Every structure is written in structure tokens, then in C-alpha cells.
Amino acid sequence: MPEHEMQPAFVLVRPQMGENIGAAARAMWNFGLERMRLVSPRDGWPNPRAVAMASGAGRLLDQAELCETLDAAIGDLTHVLATTARPRDLTREVLTPEQAMQRMRGIIADGGRPGILFGPERAGLENADIAAADALVSVPVNPRFGSLNLAQSVLLLAYEWGRLSDLAPPAQRGEGAQQDVLGRASKAEIKALSEHYEEELEQAGFFFPPDKAASMRLNLRAMWGRLPLSSADVRMLHGMLRQLVRRKG
């Protein structure tokens, strides 16, 4: 099965502004999704405003499947979810984006072909559109303020797909964390640093008065031991100390 068939189709139903179609394409491609379908876009197709907005994700528009009716757009799908701002149809299950994308993964793993519907900018999906859906998806927003636009809804759903994806390599995370661990100073380096400071501070009369000296030393060692210093930090801290005490001579 080609990789793109292991993704849900994102179906924009009667989208109005070309800009929003382009922005939706960008939002999808940020998270590796590339199967867009368009049902009867208001301003016809292709749409130069969509192309201009999609820059970098234009391929999704070129490959988008254009359909006259919603039935045609979802005919080959086995499962359909419908996004809605305010779930009105209480007979239908309402999923969070996370639940929706988990379900889509399960469907695909079982050999199904899922899709998700997004309504027109102003009014959203009509009851007739929703009739074909197995369940609804709604982003839980502030009850006092919900103002997600089409491209933002697509973005959040696509983000959830990416978040749950084991396929998409979270490259940044791995590299940084690994580097952090690799660059971490050894306990021997920390000990040498701690001793260097303790020695010079002793010379400078820092551990005073005498009855507090022991606990001051302990605090200092505890601080060096607790801080996540890299080997480079340790070298810099040695160099700083050497330079600070050199002045005295």
C-alpha cells in the first residue's frame, strides 16, 4: 500500500476562500498528510489564490481530488468523521481530535479507508453532510470563546495525526536530547571542578565564619553535583576561576 493511502483523506466540503484551501494544504503537509479532497469549491478549481497561499505545499492541490458531491468524495471510504464546532446532533458520538486520530489509525491498521470532513467557513457542515458520518469530531474550546477557522481546524487535526505518529521521526527531540546527554560532564569532571572552586575559595577566605564552613562547603558541593553541567560548561567555569584569581598576582 502506498504511504499516502495509509493516511486519512481530508475532505473540504464546499470551501469558500481559495486562501483557506491553500492554508489547509500547508497545515496538512506540515504533518505529512497529503490526501486532500475538495467538494464543490465555491470559486471553482483550480484556484490561483489557493495556489499562492499553498506555497511549498502546492503538490497537494495539484493532486487533490475534485468532486461535485459529498457522496462522490466519500464513496470509496469505509469510515467518515465530521468536524463540528458545536455538536448539535446528540445521537452521534463526539470525539476529541486525539480520539479521532487514534481511531483513524486503528481503522487504517485494520485495512479500512477513513476520511474526515471539514465544512464551509461560515456555516460549517450541514445536517445532510453529517448524515454520512460515523461520528463527530469537535475541538474542545473555551465555552466562552470558540473561533477556530477552517485552516486552524485542519491544522489541529493534522497535528494530532503527527503527534500520534510513530512514523514521523521527531528528529529535533532525539538530536537535542542525545546531544545533551553526550555533552554532559562526567562525575569525575564535576568533582574536579568542585575541588578547584573549593580550593580557591578557601584561599580567598570564603568559608567564614569557621563554624559555618562545613555547611558552606557542603552547599557548594551539592550545587555543583545537582546542576546539569556539560563538559563545555565545566571547562568554561575552570577558565573563569583561573582568570578571576590571576588578577591578584
As a residue count, the chain comes to: 249
User: Which one, 121 or 233, has the nearer CB to its own copies?
Assistant: 233
Assess 142 for contact with its own copies (CB under 8 A).
Answer: yes
User: Which one, 14 or 103, has the nearer CB to its own copies?
Assistant: 103
Assess 66 for contact with its own copies (CB under 8 A).
Answer: no
3-state secondary structure of 155: helix
Residue from 140, 195, 215, 225 in contact with its own copies (CB under 8 A): 140
Q: Which long-range contacts (CB under 8 A, 24 or more apart) does 55-60 make?
A: 55/22, 55/26, 56/26, 56/29, 57/22, 57/25, 57/26, 57/28, 57/29, 58/25, 59/34, 60/25, 60/28, 60/29, 60/34, 60/36
Residue from 32, 65, 189, 217 in contact with its own copies (CB under 8 A): 32
Assess 45 for contact with its own copies (CB under 8 A).
Answer: no
* Residue 122, all three cell numbers: 461560515
Contact 241, 197 (CB under 8 A): yes
Residue from 19, 65, 93, 121 in contact with its own copies (CB under 8 A): 93
Contact 83, 138 (CB under 8 A): yes
Residue from 51, 220, 221, 238 in contact with its own copies (CB under 8 A): 220
Contact 51, 25 (CB under 8 A): no
User: Which one, 126 or 232, has the nearer CB to its own copies?
Assistant: 232
Residue from 9, 36, 61, 136 in contact with its own copies (CB under 8 A): 136
Residue from 2, 173, 209, 210 in contact with its own copies (CB under 8 A): 173
Strand partners, 184: 230
Q: Which of residues 102-131 bind its own copies (CB under 8 A)?
A: none
User: Which one, 20 or 138, has the nearer CB to its own copies?
Assistant: 138
Assess 6 for contact with its own copies (CB under 8 A).
Answer: no
Strand partners, 82: 117, 136
Assess 132 for contact with its own copies (CB under 8 A).
Answer: no
How many Å apart are CA 211 and CA 207, to the nearest integer? Answer: 9
Residue from 20, 117, 150, 197 in contact with its own copies (CB under 8 A): 197
Assess 51 for contact with its own copies (CB under 8 A).
Answer: no
